[in-house]
Amino acid sequence: MSKNSKVLALKYRPQIFEDLIGQELAVKTIFNSIKENKVPNAYLFTGIRGVGKTTIARIVAKALNCKNGLKNLCKDNFCENCESIINSNHIDVLEMDAATRTSVDDVRELIEFSRYAPSSAKFKIFIIDEVHMLSKQAFNALLKTLEEPPEYLKFIFATTELKKIPVTILSRCQRFELPRVKPEELLNFIKKITRLENGAATDDALKLIIKLSEGSVRDALSLLDRALISLDKKKIDLESAQKIFGYFDKTLIIEIFSHLFKGEEQKVLDLYKKIYSIGIDPKIFLNDFLEVLYYIKNINTLKLDKNNFYLNLEEIKALSDLSDNVDYSTLLNYWQFTINAMEEMELVSNQNIALEMFLIRLLHLKEIKENKINISIDTKDENGFKKLDKYENSSSISNSRSIKQIKNFSQEDRLDTENKVIEDNISTKIESFDKLLKICNDNKEIKLKYELETNVNLVRFENQLIEISFNENLDKNFVKDLSEKLFDWTSKRWIITFSKKKGIITKKENKKQINEKLILNAKESNFYKKIIDKFPDSELVSVIEEDKND
């Protein structure tokens, strides 16, 4: 069946121990145990999908029952027992899927069947795949038979969820944890298969397949099969492979991080839209985003060798440069925000828009180590505090120790003495709504500033009193958060009241109206009319007023 199959994963399924790749230790131990006639009552194979659990189980069954013996195990011309085992119809070798037969009655039927000696083979063998799916009662029913089975009876279990198996079962099995196949071994293997299939592929394309397979032989063969069919025997290069698998290079995410740390919003969004246009699912993007974030945090301590196809030399250098120029606290904040974004994805219908907003939020969390900081600490103010002059390449009050820009929700505010002095010195009086927005911005309270600008209509602003109306999008914790921050900044209790009056339009709506007015005025100008004459498809989307004092 497997030889005639057009599916590569079945066509090239190993039939003898020597054909297995990446599992040398397990193979050697099993081979020696059969050779020395010291076969355990039960084998347990565990590992991720596609590393050879069921394949090894069948080879063991063949090795125990092959008419040609262990050393001459059938590879091509199969004996009667081997042929039946391959086709899953041997009367003495029962292969059972525990995912569909989970009950205690199924196990009792198995135990009843085990009482009879094998009909045509040396051993009666039960292969139970996904054994962790058995019920608790089924496991208990299996215990006694598993511990003291008849000499002719052997169990072989396979599972991807080792932790779900009771320890009483584990202690009765000889366990083998099958590792992921190393990239170099897997690359050589699929190169060989490509040649056998009369296909052609570049090393970069095959390395991409290795990346996507994550150490699974079956996944690698399935991906190769798909690529060969898609290109109809034409040579597979990296670009065509990326299109076939809907894969995007992580270099794009590294570029996004670079622009995030620099605060370049438009470039960040343009890069994300480029990735999205390829057809990448937002959840996959976030998982890859987390992976790159991990590399940025740990790139200088990771051991990367020729067997690692996940990063190339250019990517390693770029990650190392980013790691040297960003504070670790920022990376941890990014990690937490990304995890939260993955949860939020379940709540929104348009995940693409949610992801763009997630990236915009991250733009306000950067804490870059500035390489060019010119700080003068020559003078003191009337209170005896040191003054900080303006410095280049930074948009916040910061020395080598950055002011905390975001706090974990479960943490208490812990500001050191230096930062507390700076914060208190920004302003102890908030005389207007605009001043409040500035204080929020200076203290990196971006969420609070967003609510004030977008969802709040100001009715009245007086000393320690704010009267507002609001829309339905206002955060439920807004009043609590604003009250706490006002007390922190002014050391006074503020009253925040809701009004039935509509109040003035929000800051966001006001900016929108101003921009629309500027666009209308600009469209009346001769300059705009000349542009439209030469470029009739162009569209005016924004106008920036010239600073008259500049």
Sheet (strand 153-159) strand order = 93-97, 124-129, 153-159, 42-46, 174-177
**Which three-class secondary structure state does DSSP give residue 91?**
coil
The two tokens of residue 494 are 């503020």
pLDDT attached to residue 404: 39
222, amino acid identity: S
* CATH number belonging to the domain at 8-177, selected among 3.40.50.880, 1.10.1200.120, 3.40.50.300, 3.30.930.10: 3.40.50.300
Would the CA dihedral through 363, 369, 372, 374 be positive or negative? positive
In terms of Cα–Cα distance, which of 86, 144, 85 is closest to 115?
A: 144
Q: What is the Rg, in whole angstroms, of the alpha carbon atoms belonging to the chain?
A: 33
Residue 426: partners with Cβ closer than 8 Å, 6 or more residues away: 397, 439, 442, 443
Q: How far apart are CA 405 and CA 396, in angstroms?
A: 10
Query: Does the domain formed by 183-245 have CATH 3.90.25.10?
Result: no
Where do the structural domains in the chain lie, given as residue ranges?
8-177, 183-245, 250-363, 427-498
pLDDT digit string (tens) for the chain, length 550 residues: 445 557 888 888 998 898 899 899 999 999 999 989 899 999 999 999 999 999 999 999 999 988 888 888 888 788 888 888 888 888 889 888 888 888 888 888 888 888 888 888 889 999 999 999 998 898 998 898 888 888 899 999 999 999 999 999 999 999 999 999 988 899 999 999 999 988 889 988 898 898 888 889 999 999 999 988 888 767 888 888 888 887 777 788 889 998 998 888 899 999 888 888 877 788 888 888 998 898 888 887 776 554 455 676 778 888 888 888 888 888 888 998 899 888 888 888 888 888 899 998 888 775 444 443 333 334 444 444 444 443 334 333 333 333 334 444 334 444 444 444 444 444 457 888 888 888 888 888 888 888 888 888 888 888 788 888 888 788 878 888 888 888 888 888 888 888 877 788 888 888 888 888 888 888 788 877 778 777 777 777 777 766 555 5
Mention every residue, 6+ apart, whose C-beta is less than 8 A from residue 192.
none
Answer for the pair 331, 296: CB distance below 8 angstroms, yes or no.
yes
Dist CA 217 CA 189 (whole Å): 9
Please report the pLDDT score of residue 549 as a whole number: 55
Q: What's at 233, amino acid-wise?
A: K
Domain 250-363 carries which CATH code? 1.20.272.10
Closest by Cα among 338, 389, 394 to 371: 394
pLDDT given for residue 390 in this prediction = 38
Q: Structure tokens of 530?
A: 């000349």
pLDDT confidence of residue 186: 92
Residue 546, classified by CB atoms within 10 Å of its CB into exposed (0-12), middle (13-18) or buried (19+), is: exposed
Rounded Cα gap, residues 245 and 331, in angstroms: 30
Rounded-to-integer distance, Cα 487 and Cα 450, Å: 19
Cβ-count burial of 305 within 10 angstroms (0-12 exposed, 13-18 middle, 19+ buried)?
A: exposed
Distance CA 41, CA 21 (A): 25
Q: What gap in Å lies between CA 315 and CA 321, rounded to an integer?
A: 10
Q: Which amino acid is at 200?
A: A
Cα→Cα distances 314→254, 319, 320, 549, Å: 11, 9, 10, 45
Q: Say how far apart CA 354 and CA 360 lie, in whole Å.
A: 10
CA distance 468 to 457: 6
The CA distance from 360 to 431, in Å, is 29
Strand residue runs (E) in 248-297 = none
* Domain 427-498 bears CATH identifier 1.10.287: no
Q: Residue 33: which of 70, 67, 3 has the closest Cα?
A: 70
The pLDDT assigned to 319 comes to 86
- How far apart CA 103 and CA 447 sit, in angstroms, is 52
